[in-house]
């Protein structure tokens, strides 16, 4: 499978996981040069029309969803008998792993995660797509701290006829009561699951636990969750009320849209408490008193912690987010058989509900109380009124009211006339008078974190709102660099001050990633705010294969965020190419050397050999690496001085004591040596030696020795 290219474009590389109906590979988009995740349907399902239709539906549904908080689906198709989906390759860690490692998370961080998930769900719901499997394993925390919702593998359009077995899909710890009972599902089903995700994030544990899926599913239908603050006293009451409203048993009692939930979480993060209380005012009563640690109360595993930007934890250490997701999909497949039993829960749950209702009518002896109206009372009067009914005073907040004078209660939660169990705590808001009744001095927020800025504004009765980030080379990124109202100026209490966070100087230095592996280098480049161009691969004698040789722009150079950086990754030392060696025996040395150089070789004359001779042997024949040295052996020529036939005594080769000779002619290949004055003609191959004055003619191959004067 590793050599397969799907759709003529997507190169399938190493396998990173397998699930119930698909296998996931790391791949390469050969057109854009980027790493992708490729999900292919298992062969046994590819020929099943119903599974093929489901796979196609998943791809079409997911590809239509465009959000920074949803994993991107780039492409999908069919190649021969293989159905495939091409997705964004994620880096980071899943939320479940983060909770396992750190325990309960900080309330602000949980609200930020929840608001991003709500925005992702809002996009899906507007396309009539219900995710149906929202859980921490499907929430990936990216290196920049933002999240991505993944795995729309069991998502379906609201009116789709596919996957009718609603009750067996999803995970028991996070499914809604209506999903457990096999009822029709709407957007509020995802909101319920998101409530459980936030519950787990602030407490470190799921609200309903059991030995098997059926037990957990029945608890989803029948049992009320413990308020998160009983498990983690640090949970903010406002966030607790938001979570519990998401987890109401009746869909009608929850937030009705993901947008509504997002706006409420946004208000909570901005410190607009009144807006949060209004959004949760219809929440049915829950005991909110913080019990002392004891039986039935399980504390958060490690208090609260902030979610890290980048973590690889537990058995997923060293894996990318896509690889984690693939492994988790395989885990889901292993549990599939066990979860099938949820298919019968609809009937079982209905019977259980009837029994519970009957017991409630006939045998419930919990003392109930009616919450009085506290509006217009002072704090002391409210305490007395609540105590008379067996209720307790809860959290006290202060705000501005045009209708109630300073010191009087103008809002309460739960609301008046609600029937609640005795011991329920009632939270109140006490008026500070009309919002324009007084002015306050605007504090200096420079260099504060958003949390500290909000806190400092609240201390003087002002509200805070985060504006668009601004470049500021003097203020650390993420801290306040500017504000809408000058520090020290006077404005009315209750007004909103907008603060602006620094995005840094706008330029960053390109990190030095030389000698780091490609994935690590790519991650560091992206974390620094740069974009990655397609990786280039080059030969290097000094850098190990797979590691970065250099980048362009070079390390240390300052450039605008978003600038494209190219990684040059080593292929290791270049292996010389083997090519044919020309056969140059019988060539003159100069011709032989030229022929070898033309083919990229290096000719070497053997020691003691003459460049004037012809090549009689070469050290290498056949093939050799380009640039190899070829040693040539030559034979010294036997005729070193040409005979001219002239009588000039000063000419070389003429004895001044002899009589002048008649010019002769030498024809053919002659390897003999002629000494003295020669006036004869030598024809053919001659290997003998002629000495003295010769004026005859020698024809043919001569092997003898001629001495003296020849007259034949």
Alpha carbon distance 203, 234 (integer Å): 9
Taken as a whole, the chain contains a residue count of 712
In the block, which residue shows the tokens 């960053």?
508
Whether the link from the prior residue into 229 is cis, omega within 30° of 0, is no
Q: Return the bridge partners of 617, or none.
A: 633
Could you tell me if residue 201 is left (phi over 0), alpha (psi between -120 and 50 degrees) or otherwise beta?
A: alpha
For helices 107-126 and 237-246, what crossing angle results, to 10°?
A: 30
Strands 129-130, 82-88: pairing is unpaired
Alpha carbon distance 105, 303 (integer Å): 8
Annotated binding-site residue? 219: no
CA–CA distances in Å: residue 355 to residues 167, 282, 358, 543: 21, 27, 5, 72
Separate counts of helices (H) and strands (E) for the chain: 17, 38
Q: Return the bridge partners of 10, or none.
A: 6, 29
CA–CA distances in Å: residue 417 to residues 288, 389, 412, 414: 18, 12, 11, 9
Q: Are residues 99 and 149 in contact, defined by beta-carbon separation less than 8 angstroms?
A: no
CA–CA distances in Å: residue 523 to residues 21, 288, 440, 519, 531: 31, 44, 47, 6, 10
Task: Find the Cα–Cα–Cα–Cα dihedral 366, 367, 373, 375, rounded to 10°.
Answer: -80
**If you write DSSP's letter for every residue of 258-276 in order, what string do you get?**
HHHHHHHHHHHHHT-HHHH
Is position 133 annotated as part of the catalytic site? Answer: yes
593: Cβ–Cβ under 8 A, 6 or more apart, which residues?
603, 632
CA–CA distances in Å: residue 137 to residues 18, 143, 312: 16, 17, 14
Picking from 44, 62, 223, the residue whose alpha carbon sits closest to that of residue 130 is 62
Alpha carbon distance 652, 671 (integer Å): 19
Alpha carbon distance 670, 335 (integer Å): 94
Alpha carbon distance 474, 480 (integer Å): 11
For helices 237-246 and 258-270, what crossing angle results, to 10°?
A: 180
Q: Are residues 264 and 255 in contact, defined by beta-carbon separation less than 8 angstroms?
A: yes
* 3 state SS for 427-448: EEEEECCCCCCCEEECCCCCCC
674: Cβ–Cβ under 8 A, 6 or more apart, which residues?
639, 643, 666, 682, 690, 694
Q: Are residues 217 and 175 in contact, defined by beta-carbon separation less than 8 angstroms?
A: yes
In 345-398, alpha helices (H): 345-363, 379-388
Q: Return the bridge partners of 691, or none.
A: 675, 707
In the block, which residue shows the tokens 């036997």?
638
Distance of CA 256 to the CA centre of its chain: 33
In the block, which residue shows the tokens 């037990």?
215
Of 133, 267, 485, 677, which is the active-site residue?
A: 133
Binding region for ATP: 39
Task: Return the active site residues.
Answer: 133
């Amino acid at each position: 499978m590793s050599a397969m290219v799907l759709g003529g474009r997507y190169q399938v590389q190493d396998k990173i996981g397998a699930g119930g109906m698909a296998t996931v590979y790391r791949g390469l988009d050969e057109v854009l040069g980027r790493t992708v995740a490729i999900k292919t349907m298992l062969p046994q399902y590819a020929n099943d029309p119903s599974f093929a239709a489901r796979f196609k539906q998943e791809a079409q549904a997911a590809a239509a969803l465009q959000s920074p908080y949803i994993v991107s689906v780039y492409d999908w198709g069919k190649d021969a008998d293989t159905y495939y989906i091409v997705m964004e390759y994620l880096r980071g860690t899943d939320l479940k792993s983060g909770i396992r490692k750190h325990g309960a998370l900080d309330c602000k961080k949980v609200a930020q995660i929840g608001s991003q998930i709500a925005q992702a769900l809002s996009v899906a719901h507007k396309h009539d797509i219900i995710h149906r499997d929202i859980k921490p394993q499907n929430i990936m925390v990216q290196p920049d701290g933002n999240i991505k919702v993944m795995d729309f593998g069991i998502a379906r359009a609201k009116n789709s006829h596919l996957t009718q077995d609603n009750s067996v899909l999803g995970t028991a710890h996070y499914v809604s009561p209506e999903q457990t009972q096999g009822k029709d599902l709407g957007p509020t089903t995802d909101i319920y699951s998101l409530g459980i995700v936030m519950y787990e994030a602030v407490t470190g544990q799921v609200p309903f636990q059991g030995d098997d899926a059926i037990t957990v599913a029945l608890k989803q239908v029948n049992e009320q969750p413990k308020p998160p603050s009983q498990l983690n006293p640090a949970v903010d009451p406002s966030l607790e009320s938001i979570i519990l409203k998401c987890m109401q048993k009746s869909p009608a009692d929850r937030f009705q849209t993901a947008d509504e939930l997002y706006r409420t979480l946004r208000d909570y993060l901005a410190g607009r408490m009144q807006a949060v209380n209004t959004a949760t005012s219809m929440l049915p009563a829950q005991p909110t008193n913080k019990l002392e640690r004891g039986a039935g109360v399980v504390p958060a595993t490690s208090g609260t912690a902030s979610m890290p930007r980048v973590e690889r934890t537990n058995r997923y250490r060293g894996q990318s987010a896509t690889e984690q997701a693939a492994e988790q999909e395989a885990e889901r497949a292993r549990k599939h058989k066990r979860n099938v039993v949820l298919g019968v829960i609809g009937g079982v749950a209905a019977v259980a509900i009837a029994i519970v209702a009957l017991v409630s009518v006939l045998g419930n002896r919990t003392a109930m109380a009616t919450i009085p109206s506290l509006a217009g009372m002072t704090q002391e009067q409210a305490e007395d009124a609540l105590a008379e009914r067996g209720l307790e005073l809860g959290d006290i907040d202060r705000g501005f009211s045009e209708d109630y004078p300073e010191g009087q209660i103008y809002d309460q939660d739960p609301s008046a006339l609600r029937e609640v169990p005795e011991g329920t705590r009632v939270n109140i808001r006490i008026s500070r008078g009309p919002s324009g009744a007084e002015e306050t001095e605007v504090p200096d927020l420079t260099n504060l974190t958003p949390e500290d800025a909000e806190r400092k504004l609240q201390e003087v009765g002002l509200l805070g709102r985060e504006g668009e980030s601004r470049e500021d080379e003097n203020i650390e990124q993420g801290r306040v660099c500017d504000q809408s109202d000058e520090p020290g100026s006077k404005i009315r209490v209750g007004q909103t001050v907008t603060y602006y966070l620094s995005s840094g100087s706008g330029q960053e230095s390109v990190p030095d990633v030389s000698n780091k592996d490609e994935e690590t280098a790519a991650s560091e480049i992206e974390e620094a705010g740069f974009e990655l161009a397609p990786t280039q691969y080059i030969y290097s004698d000094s850098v190990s294969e797979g590691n970065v040789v250099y980048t362009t722009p070079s390390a240390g150079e300052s450039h605008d965020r978003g600038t494209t950086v190219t990684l040059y990754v080593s292929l290791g030392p270049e292996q010389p190419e083997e090519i044919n060696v020309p056969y140059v025996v019988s060539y003159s040395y100069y011709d032989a050397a030229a022929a070898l150089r033309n083919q990229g070789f290096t000719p070497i004359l053997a020691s003691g050999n003459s460049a004037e001779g012809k090549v009689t042997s070469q050290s290498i024949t056949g093939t050799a690496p380009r640039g190899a040295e070829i040693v040539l052996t030559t034979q010294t020529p036997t005729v070193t001085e040409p005979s001219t036939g002239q009588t000039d005594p000063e000419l070389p080769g003429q004895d001044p004591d002899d009589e002048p000779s008649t010019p002769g002619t030498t024809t053919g290949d002659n390897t003999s040596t002629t000494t003295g004055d020669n006036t004869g003609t030598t024809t053919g191959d001659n290997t003998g030696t002629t000495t003295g004055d010769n004026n005859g003619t020698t024809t043919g191959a001569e092997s003898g020795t001629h001495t003296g004067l020849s007259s034949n």
